[in-house]
Chain A
Amino acid sequence: MSAVGDLVARAQQHTGVALDVTEFRGETTVTVPAERVLDVLGAFDAAPGGPLVLTDLTALDRHPHEPRFEVVYLLTAYAASVRLRVRARLPGDSPVIASATGLWPAANWLEREVFDFFGIRFDGHPNLTRILMPDDWEGYPLRRDVPLTEEPVEFVEHVPKVPSTIIPKSPPRS
């Protein structure tokens, strides 16, 4: 989509950051170095065709692959019907990235959720505390090295398999 291509080109020009652009199923994803993520997001926001709305901010854990974490920002331009995904990769030990709450107040709870589940710290966040897990919870549940707690249902003579063992994980298709 040329509207997205324009946005990306302008942001690249404006910030001078090397952006790695990929497309899959009609969606554009831009990979940004983590230290420059705020510059790039701000450049997208300020470009014509914006302002962009922060639709979603999330993270994923690619353990044991390094860099382990990816913080993913999904931006939408309502008027132009354009979506853009921005991705920043972070290392596994003490992942820190700048907070986007200055650009969008919507990032406040979204970053708290990412911190709660992955342990990624957001520099500059006004109140980086747990949001969905209990306040005294230890650990970061959505990390892939934390197993899902599954208790088998114990009937009288029969203990069925826990759901995740019914169909085991298959190797990726080659």
Chain B
Amino acid sequence: MSSGRTETLTINMGPQHPATHGVLRVILELEGEVVLDAVPVIGYLHTGFEKEMETRTYHQNIVFPARIEYLATFIEETAYCLAVEKLLGAAPPPRAQVARVILMELSRIASHLVWLGTSAIDLNVTSVFIYCFDDRERILDLFEAVSGQRMMHGYVRIGGLQWDLPEDFEARVRRIIEALPARVDEYEALLTDNLIWRKRTEGIALLAPADALRYGCTGPTLRGSGVSYDVRKAFPYGGYEQYEFDVPLGKNGDAFDRYKIRMEEIRQSIRIIQQALGRITPGPWIVEDRKVALPPRHELVRSMEAVIHQFKLVSEGIRPPVGDVYAAVESPRGEKGYYIVSDGSNRPLRVRVRSASFNNLQALPVMVRGGYIADVVVAIASIDIVLGDVDR
């Protein structure tokens, strides 16, 4: 009898694939159905944000962050504006800070709803997808009322906000967060005790804490493995130190733990929003420093200095001091940071986007080796990547 020869099967998954959550290509080496290795190939959504941001002023660059991580738009915009404010040494007024916190937490909830819907539909639970997107529509309607746009707002500005909050803002936010906990309970009832969901996610896509740290993972991917690191607690920004909230942790580092963490994070976001709603005070919505923010229109008819400031800001833009800063926020995926290097001119020398998804995706091969090919889908879903964030 002749000796057999074994070969492994190399199969390509993506970039156009319904379960890769974007244009992600994974080259899988299989032995039957067991994955021996997975090599993610990225770059299909690379648009050169970092280079574009070097060719525009700090104010013109405000349009880009929302397009980088398009599912958590307010969080991304705030990350960029916090970095520029840190560079300038400017701080937004209290009303703007509280508004930013509320909008950021609503963004987090919206992003987690997308994650839940798409992860569920990957595992053929189609009803959860539609319900989650319906809830997200309420949040996007609020975003449209606040900024004029559902997704690419440009509302968070350097030094504060673009304009004041609408009059019914508080009432609308309360309506949303009053309806949400019952819906989240429904989703948990559908999934958490669901035998199929448990079997597909428990013990799948395991990531040991040491691996998670060494691969630079952050967010629920890291916290699922039991490491407690949340940028809102470790390096508080934008007023988060005033709010009481818990950071859920997992134990086993599997997909089920990450699911539980994100569901709990939705509830904690609701908790933060409830506290923040009580703290909105009337006042200015952007910083008063005329070298950072445009003067209000009514001042232009009275003051020559205001006219000059307006002219300089519009024709040239702000010129921060020479130096470099890094400002990070907790995005739904992990630590999202902006490293901005200024050479003193009106354009940044370098804008580096520290992307949470890019680092988390590096750990994908570790999670899927030795598992089945069907679990690759669960692993990709549980990391919650946004390809715009991975590729920029």
Please tell me if the beta carbons of B326 and A74 are within 8 angstroms of each other in the complex.
Answer: yes
Question: Is A105 on the interface with B (CB-CB < 8 A)?
Answer: yes
Interface extent on B, as a size class?
35 or more
Contact A105 B214 (CB under 8 A): yes
B354 within 8 A of A: yes
Which residue of chain A lies nearest to B319 when distances are taken between CB atoms in the complex? Answer: A173
Min CB distance B306 to A, Å, is: 20
Interface string of B310-327 (1 = CB under 8 A from A): 000001110101111110
Q: Are A131 and B42 in contact (CB under 8 A)?
A: yes
A164 touching B362, Cβ below 8 Å: no
Interface presence of A46 (CB below 8 A): no
Q: Is the CB of A78 within 8 A of B216?
A: no
Complex-state Cα separation, A133 to B228, whole angstroms: 35
**Residue A11 at the B interface, CB < 8 A?**
no
Q: Kindly provide the distance from the CB of A94 to the nearest chain B CB, expressed in whole angstroms.
A: 21
Task: Choose one: B43, B227, B317, B323; the contact of A24 (CB below 8 Å).
Answer: B323
B337 touches A163 (CB 8 A): no
Contacts of B326 in A (CB 8 A): 27, 56, 74, 83, 85
Taking CB atoms, residues of chain B closer than 8 Å to A113 are 358
B359 at the interface (CB under 8 A from A): yes
Contacts of B123 in A (CB 8 A): none
Give the residue name and chain of the A residue nearest to B314 (CB).
A167
Q: Please tell me if the beta carbons of B46 and A58 are within 8 angstroms of each other in the complex.
A: no
CA distance A109 to B216 in the complex (A): 11
**Interface hit among B47-55, B130-138, B152-160:** B47-55
Complex: how many Å from CA A104 to CA B363? 12
B319 with A172: CB separation less than 8 A: yes
Q: Separation in Å of the A161 CB from the closest CB of chain B? A: 12
| Given A56-B352, A163-B56, A167-B316: A132 touches B346 (CB 8 Å cut-off) | no
Q: Which residues of B contact A163 (CB under 8 A)?
A: 55-56, 60
A91 to B384, CA, bound (A): 39
Q: Which of B321, B328, B362 contacts A173 (CB 8 A)?
A: B321
- B344 engages A132 (CB within 8 Å): no
Cα distance, A166 to B328, chains bound together (Å): 30
B-facing residues in A78-113 (Cβ within 8 Å): 78, 81, 83, 85, 104-106, 108-110, 113
Q: Give the Cβ gap from A160 to chain B, nearest Cβ, in Å.
A: 14
Cβ of A60 within 8 Å of any chain B Cβ, yes or no, is: yes
| Segment touching B, from A2-10, A35-43, A47-55 | A47-55
Q: Is B122 an interface residue (CB 8 A)?
A: no
Task: Return A46 CB to nearest CB of chain B, in Å.
Answer: 14
Nearest B residue to A162 via CB reads B55
Q: Tell me if B234 and A106 are in contact (CB < 8 A).
A: no
Pairs of residues from A and B, 5 with the lowest C-beta to C-beta distance, nearest first:
A172-B344, A106-B216, A164-B55, A132-B43, A60-B350
22 A-B pairs, CB-CB below 8 angstroms?
A24-B324, A56-B337, A56-B339, A56-B354, A60-B341, A74-B339, A78-B227, A85-B324, A85-B326, A104-B214, A109-B359, A110-B359, A132-B46, A134-B43, A141-B51, A148-B48, A163-B55, A167-B56, A167-B315, A170-B316, A172-B319, A173-B319
Query: Using a CB–CB distance below 8 Å, which chain B residues touch chain A?
Result: 42-43, 46, 48, 50-52, 54-57, 60, 86-87, 89, 213-216, 227-229, 234-235, 315-317, 319, 321-326, 328, 335, 337, 339, 341, 343-347, 349-350, 352, 354, 358-359, 362, 391-392
Since A74-B354, A104-B215 are in contact, a sample of 6 more A-B pairs with Cβ atoms closer than 8 Å, ordered by chain A residue number, is: A25-B325, A85-B324, A109-B358, A170-B317, A170-B319, A173-B344
